[in-house]
Structure 1
Amino acid sequence: MTHRLSYSTSLKPASKPTFAKAWLRVTLGAAALALLAGCASKGEPAYTPKELKSFEATTSIDSVWRESVGDGLGRARYPIEPAREGNTVFAADAQGVVMAFNAQNGNRQWRIDLDTPLSSALNAIAGQLYLGTRNGEVISIDQSDGSVNWRSRVSSEVLAAPQANQQLLIVQSIDGQVTALDRASGAERWVYTSSQPALTLRGSGTPMVIDPVTFVGLANGRLATLDNRSGQPLWEQQIATPRGRSEVERLVDLAGQPVLSPDGRLFVTSYNGRVVALEATQGGVLWETNLSSRHTPVLVGNTLFVITDDSQVVALDASSGQELWRNNDLEDRWLTAPAFADGRLAVGDFEGYLHLIDAREGQIVGRTRIHKSGISLRPVSEGRTLHVQANNGRLQTLEISP
């Protein structure tokens, strides 16, 4: 049985600009933020990426294998993040090519062409591979041979990786709608709809799904917790409040994925807003700190690592929100979301460099270049192994040591 919920939050969307009759969305990347700056001031963007400085490398980065995945992420740099399950790495390009590789040696296991443009990050779980398309399709693929299990339609383009619990696949599309699909068949189970501001970042939050509930970050700055039986919201919390005169200044998207700790704390980032720690069952605020981030943070032990919107790397005490260290050596270099690999944080930048940062002290300890086309996707980590996909489609596997 399908349940359709239309739930509008109490926050009214900002008035729509005269040049937009519908949603105006902006790509996450240098060109996109230049467009935003142009909308606001008709001038050039005000950022200047820091030049890379020499450092004493204490971590070596060795290439294990590399392959080319189709034609890459396209001019829009779709966030088609690769995924790994077991000993297989899955990657795709913006035109619909999906490939599976042996994680140890790079041997190709299969290749398919879905004949439809892809747009979302990949999610590999329990023998299935899930992804979304630009025309609002969600596709389930068998990991063993690349055969398509089912295709299902949602309301609009999907940029965030579909997320699963035991029964459901939760899909958040760029119009703010959240759809629950049956994992086995792709049948629609329920739909949740939220209000959207007139101007949002090009993208959407990625849901955090556990068996009973789904945590959803929205473009209006709110976090909603949905009952997975019906899609009914259980509680909501305003994470970021729109401020400023222009629509650009009022952007408050929750574009990252909430992070849930084993002891029931929920960590949420927001653009033009705060990093907030919440009590997951009721939504009570445990602490907050003023950091703007559109990326998913990483929680390791009791430390939360955040990449800010000006590409500073910040470590916070997860119990109090107190800043432990900050690295601004890579400021304004359009860093990716971080991955954690054997005591280091791994981040890519717009010139295609992969940087390793010591997670305890915050200094850069290793660096290599993947490809000059740049890196906009978060690396995939497994122990000391990193899988990094550049914008042109190059997929490279690296080992770090010691």
Structure 2
Amino acid sequence: MITTRFSKLLFSKPTVRLTVGAVALALLVGCASKGEPAYTPKELRSFAETSSLESVWSRNVGDGLGRARYPIAPAREGETIFAADADGVVAAFNADNGNREWEIELDTPISSALNAIAGQLYLGTRNGEVIALDQRDGSVNWRSRVSSEVLAAPQANQQLLLVQSVDGQITALDRASGEERWVYTSSQPSLTLRGTGTPMVIDPVSFVGFANGQLATLDNRNGQPLWELQIATPRGRSDVDRLVDLAGQPVVTPDGRLFVTSYNGNVVALEATRGGVLWESNLSSRHTPILVGNILLVVTDDSHVVGLDADSGQEVWRNDDLEDRWLTAPAFADGRVVVGDFEGYVHLLDAREGTLVGRTRVHKSGISVRPATEGSTIHVQANNGRLETLEVTP
């Protein structure tokens, strides 16, 4: 029997996508009949606030992320912040004052996080399209088709745009034209988390995690795997027990280390060139970690925020004050770890010690996508579409 915590996750099969309601109802009925404990997020408690979050500006972007809570995280490049809704509205705002620079409405619903790079804005759609927009005015530069729905933000190097779709396929597109260059296909388990890993793309290679628990390093010239490694091994009898998704994005460092999280598995540090394991830590996470100095910051699946020594994997600190509050992936702003939660609060933690130092509420609809940060500025998009810009002081 699984606990009702899993009823809050979205599951998917390669050809069937189940809604929250259908899965949650089935799981809740089964668990309640056997006296399983109820899912109970930890209540927020007062603390000594040493940092404040001041609202600089806020705007509404369409109708929000939809009932399915599509992971349409905002993106920033330079002095512009870009955001979108699930119905196809895309908008650009001046990051300092919130002035709306442009807004367009695409003829297709959006499903992926955004990626702004080198004057282009890339996004994916529910019907398997990838769209490149001009950051200056939102005009469409090109559209290209991939194998299925795209939930992960498309990732770019100098020449290519890599797209990971929900069926496990990696498609490399020419960044200038959208023309397909190569395709890599992985095997999918019968049941996966709703979502996909996000490729980490550098010029020569791409590091890609899959729903079967495998990590692959692909040669960007032709898509051929240079090495493959089983990060998390499925265990148990049921499909739910055997979920081992690599749903986050790998983190690579200039000195050649690679950090990977896995659901129902471990956090693993690897040698990026050969895939040799440096250390493992028994933490389950479906979120992308961040590296701050020599501390790897991980949000676990029970919403503990953990700081690991990047050299050894030893736990430096752990904060469980926000347990089971469905935290977003972590971001970093001016010495603080930034996370949002299911009730719409933004929390700040000291990155060195892990203590809570600040909090504010953006909107009761909740926050499910990672904030975008620049220095001490935080851009947060709530589930209803509200885009709020906060400034950390002091």
Distance, in Å, in 2 between the alignment partners of 1:269 and 1:33 is: 25
Q: How does 1:272-291 map to 2 (within 5 A)?
A: 272-291=264-283
Shift of 1:246: 1.2
1:256 partnered with 2:241: no
Q: Which residue does 1:266 correspond to in 2?
A: 258
**Residue pair 1:78, 1:119 contacting (<8 A) in 2 also:** yes
Aligned to 2:224: 232
> How many Å separate the matches in 1 of 2:361 and 2:103?
27
Which one-letter code corresponds to 2:293 in the other structure?
Answer: G
Structural RMSD (CA): 1.7
Deviation string, structure 1 residues 57-105 (Cα, Å, up to 9, x no partner): 0001100000000000000000000000000000000000000000000
Aligned to 1:218: 210
Provide the C-alpha distance between the structure 1 equivalents of 2:245 and 2:229, rounded to a whole number of angstroms.
13
Distance 1:189 1:269, change over 3 A: same
Aligned pair count reads: 381
How far the C-alpha of 1:34 sits from its partner, in A, is: 3.4
Mapped partners of 1:137, 1:42: distance in 2? 41
Match of 1:85 in 2: 77
Any conservation in 2 of the 1:208–1:259 contact (CA below 8 Å)? Answer: yes
Report what 1:34 is aligned to: 24
Answer yes or no: is the 8 Å Cα contact 1:24–1:199 preserved in 2.
no
SS at match of 2:177: coil
For residues 122-133 of structure 1, what are the structure 2 equivalents within 5 Å? 122-133=114-125
1:276 partner letter: V
The answer to whether the aligner puts 1:193 opposite 2:185 as a matched pair is yes
Structure-2 separation of matches of 1:134 and 1:155: 11
Secondary structure of 1:139's aligned partner: strand
Deviation at 1:41, TM superposition (A): 4.3
**Distance in structure 1 (CA, Å) of the matches to 2:269 and 2:163:** 24
Tell me: CA distance 1:154–1:40, structure 2 relative to 1, closer, same or farther (3 Å): farther
What residue in structure 2 maps to residue 245 of structure 1? 237
CA contact (8 A) 1:25 1:200 kept: no
Q: State whether residues 82 and 121 of structure 1, in contact with CA within 8 Å, keep that contact through their aligned partners in structure 2.
A: yes
Whole-angstrom CA distance in 1 between matches of 2:40 and 2:225: 42
**So what's the TM-score if we normalise by structure 1?**
0.92
Q: Residues 23 and 199 of structure 1 are in contact (CA less than 8 Å); yes or no, is this contact kept in structure 2?
A: no
1:295 to 277, 284, 287: 287
TM-score (norm: length of structure 2): 0.94
Moved over 6 A (4+): none
* Number of the residue aligned with 2:316: 324
Q: Distance in 1 between matches of 2:22 and 2:106?
A: 28
SS in 1 for 2:270: strand
In 2, the alpha carbon distance for the partners of 1:373 and 1:284 equals 43
Helix, strand or coil: the match of 1:57? coil
Does the aligned pair in 2 maintain the 1:120–1:131 contact within 8 Å?
yes
| Superposed counterparts of 1:54-203, under 5 Å | 54-203=46-195
Change beyond 3 A, Cα 1:303–1:67: same
Equivalent position of 2:354 in the other structure: 362
Unaligned runs of 5+ in 2: 1-11
Contact 2:219 2:225 in 1 (8 A): yes
Per-residue deviation at 1:262?
Answer: 1.3
Counterpart CA distance in 1 for 2:52 and 2:164 is 38
